[in-house]
């Protein structure tokens, strides 16, 4: 006898304008925009949020070396080794990139949009990535959850020609989207749109396409005139500081950075569903309108993360969560499939969670079988942390035991 069970995983999505990452200019120099410092800031931010999908703007257009350095020096650090990157592609000195958790996703297709409808070249190309979620039971049945992500960095500036360039770019996006739209895919567009109001044509093209089925939606439904408007203080993403040389000034007073979703995600129709209340401008506590991000009190994130956000970029990352609904078929005498996800090898901090929520215990045993640490597992999708600074370097075994007596064992290397 077989039975079906619907289980849920949670995906953390993050978009971030990295501010001239490894792109040295006469105003963003190796001194005020140090690549080494930025790697450390990004390492801190990623270690805190642990996103499964990361899209970025303002990656140096150098053939891909910079993109790989961010992967190596920031993402796959502190015991993390599960991030992969998409293929490098650019038509300007600043490019986009996508990184993803290879334990959860595979990249199956990549494309670009670099021409306006009149065939002239866009200021910067829009990159298109399609991922599929790794679900063994669904793959065996020839099906999975597909997610197509557009990443855009639209023209900056508030004069008429800049506004026109943004409109041309999003017009091309929606034309491509209409032609290539698939009824079994879910869709996201993320990026630095540089829009000052939801009434701007470049934004209207995305959310008001005549074909209602392909329109993008703002998960938090915050339309309006965002620029220098304190009513939107809690969702502003730029600037992290009042003044700067490489960094733009003005304090937090613009909503430039977005993650918009297709209606199928808002309605949870095709496997991916927006987690209500999860959308945020990381580090924005709503009390720093026209101010430095780190001025006075800001307890929205830990102090080291706040400092990294202030120094990394003049933009804040935008993050949200997606739930992935999966229906799996099992025989009645088999236990539910589950995985322990963790950094390994590990330094002084073990970051871990179960792929599926469960109740039980996580134990760390030394080579003699002695239990040195034990933690209770609560049924949550969030990451947990264990301080291992008191443990000696060496080889250990992690044992996870659930209430239904399922046992998971993994080797752990303490550095």
pLDDT in tens, 104-132: 999 999 999 999 999 999 999 999 999 99
Query: Is 333 within a domain?
Result: no
The answer on pLDDT for 334 being more than 70 is no
The CA angle 266-259-256, to the nearest 5 degrees, is 140
Q: Do residues 264 and 354 share a domain?
A: no
Query: Is 332 within a domain?
Result: no
326, 349, 382 - which closes a domain:
326
Band (pLDDT 50/70/90 cuts) for residue 7 is low
* Cis peptide bond N-terminal to 239, omega within 30: yes
Among the listed residues 200, 183, 203, the one whose alpha carbon sits nearest the alpha carbon of residue 191: 203
326, 351, 384 - which closes a domain:
326
Query: Is 113 within a domain?
Result: yes
Residue 74 has phi, psi (to 5 degrees) of: -125, -50
Among the listed residues 345, 343, 341, the one whose alpha carbon sits nearest the alpha carbon of residue 358: 341
Q: Do residues 314 and 365 share a domain?
A: no
What is the bridge-based pairing of β-strands 185-192 and 146-153? parallel
Tokens 């450390």 identify what position? 40
Q: Do residues 141 and 249 share a domain?
A: yes
Q: Do residues 100 and 175 share a domain?
A: yes
CB atoms within 10 A of CB 394: 11
Mean pLDDT, rounded, of the chain: 90
Band (pLDDT 50/70/90 cuts) for residue 64 is very high
- What is the pLDDT at residue 3? 36
Tokens 């009645």 identify what position? 332
291, 326, 361 - which closes a domain:
326
Q: Which domain holds residue 167?
A: 2-326
Residue 296 has phi, psi (to 5 degrees) of: 60, -140
How many structural domains compose the chain?
2
The answer on pLDDT for 17 being more than 60 is yes
**Helix, strand or coil, per DSSP, at residue 5:** strand
The CA angle 282-285-288, to the nearest 5 degrees, is 110
Band (pLDDT 50/70/90 cuts) for residue 404 is low
Query: Is 392 within a domain?
Result: yes
Which residues on neighbouring strands pair with residue 328, listed in sequence order?
5
Among the listed residues 189, 159, 178, 146, the one whose alpha carbon sits nearest the alpha carbon of residue 320: 189
Rounded Cα gap, residues 116 and 129, in angstroms: 19
Residue 152: which CATH number? 3.60.10.10
Query: Is 331 within a domain?
Result: no
Mean pLDDT of 325-332: 46
Query: Is 29 within a domain?
Result: yes
Q: Do residues 264 and 161 share a domain?
A: yes
Find out whether 269 and 285 touch, Cβ atoms under 8 Å.
Answer: no
Q: Do residues 239 and 208 share a domain?
A: yes
Q: Do residues 110 and 167 share a domain?
A: yes
The DSSP annotation for 75-86 comes to IS-TT---EEE-
Question: Token digits for 51?
Answer: 């996103």
Query: Is 244 within a domain?
Result: yes
The CA angle 315-256-95, to the nearest 5 degrees, is 70
Q: Do residues 53 and 196 share a domain?
A: yes
- What is the pLDDT at residue 69? 98
Rounded Cα gap, residues 242 and 134, in angstroms: 43
Find out whether 8 and 325 touch, Cβ atoms under 8 Å.
Answer: yes
Q: What percent of the chain has pLDDT over 70?
A: 92
The CA angle 188-192-196, to the nearest 5 degrees, is 110
Mean pLDDT of 366-387: 85
The count of residues in the chain is 415
**Helix, strand or coil, per DSSP, at residue 71:** helix
Band (pLDDT 50/70/90 cuts) for residue 335 is very low
Which residues on neighbouring strands pair with residue 125, listed in sequence order?
none
Rounded Cα gap, residues 359 and 400, in angstroms: 10
Exposed, middle or buried, 230 (CB in 10 Å: 0-12/13-18/19+)? exposed
Rounded Cα gap, residues 45 and 309, in angstroms: 7
Rounded Cα gap, residues 260 and 387, in angstroms: 37
Q: Do residues 303 and 364 share a domain?
A: no
Q: Do residues 164 and 285 share a domain?
A: yes
Tokens 């990295």 identify what position? 18
Q: Do residues 374 and 318 share a domain?
A: no
Rounded Cα gap, residues 358 and 68, in angstroms: 36
Query: Is 234 within a domain?
Result: yes
Q: Do residues 356 and 316 share a domain?
A: no
- What is the pLDDT at residue 136? 53
pLDDT in tens, 204-245: 999 999 999 999 999 999 999 999 999 999 999 999 999 989
pTM, two decimals, is 0.80
The CA angle 79-379-335, to the nearest 5 degrees, is 90
Rounded Cα gap, residues 359 and 199, in angstroms: 48
Residue 373: which CATH number? 2.60.40.3080
């Amino acid at each position: 006898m077989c039975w079906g069970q619907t289980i849920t995983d949670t995906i953390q999505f993050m978009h971030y304008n990295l501010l001239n990452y490894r792109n040295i200019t006469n105003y963003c120099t190796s001194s005020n925009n140090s690549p080494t410092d930025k790697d450390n800031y990004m390492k801190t931010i990623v270690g805190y949020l642990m996103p499964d999908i990361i899209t970025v703007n303002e990656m140096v257009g150098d053939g891909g070396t910079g993109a790989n350095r961010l992967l190596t020096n920031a993402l796959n650090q502190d015991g993390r080794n599960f991030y992969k990157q998409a293929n490098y592609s650019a038509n300007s000195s600043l490019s986009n990139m996508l990184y993803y958790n290879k334990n959860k996703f595979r990249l199956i297709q990549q494309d670009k949009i670099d021409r306006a409808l009149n065939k002239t070249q866009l200021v910067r190309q829009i990159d298109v990535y399609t991922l599929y979620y790794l679900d063994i039971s669904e793959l065996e049945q020839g099906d999975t959850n597909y997610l197509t992500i557009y990443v855009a960095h639209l023209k900056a500036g508030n004069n008429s020609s800049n506004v026109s360039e943004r409109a041309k770019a999003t017009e091309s996006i929606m034309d491509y989207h209409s032609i290539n739209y698939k009824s079994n895919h879910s869709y996201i567009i993320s990026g630095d749109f540089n829009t000052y109001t939801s009434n701007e044509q470049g934004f209207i093209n995305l959310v008001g396409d005549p074909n209602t089925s392909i329109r993008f939606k703002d998960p938090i439904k915050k339309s309006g005139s965002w620029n220098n408007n304190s009513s939107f203080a809690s969702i502003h993403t730029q600037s992290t500081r009042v003044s700067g040389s490489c960094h733009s000034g003005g304090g937090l007073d613009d909503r430039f950075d977005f993650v918009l979703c297709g209606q199928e995600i808002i309605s949870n129709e095709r496997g991916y569903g927006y987690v209500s209340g999860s959308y945020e401008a990381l580090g924005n506590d709503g009390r720093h309108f026209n101010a430095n991000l780190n001025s006075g009190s800001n307890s929205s994130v830990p102090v080291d993360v706040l400092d990294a956000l202030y120094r990394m970029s003049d933009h804040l990352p935008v993050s949200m969560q997606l739930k992935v609904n999966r229906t799996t078929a099992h025989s009645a005498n088999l236990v539910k499939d589950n995985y322990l996800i963790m950094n390994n090898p590990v330094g002084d901090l073990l970051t871990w969670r179960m792929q599926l929520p469960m109740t039980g215990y996580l134990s760390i045993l030394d080579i003699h079988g002695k239990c040195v640490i034990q933690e209770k597992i609560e049924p949550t999708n969030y990451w947990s942390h264990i301080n291992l600074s008191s443990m000696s370097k060496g080889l250990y075994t992690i044992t996870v035991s659930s209430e239904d007596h399922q046992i998971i064992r993994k080797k752990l290397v303490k550095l």
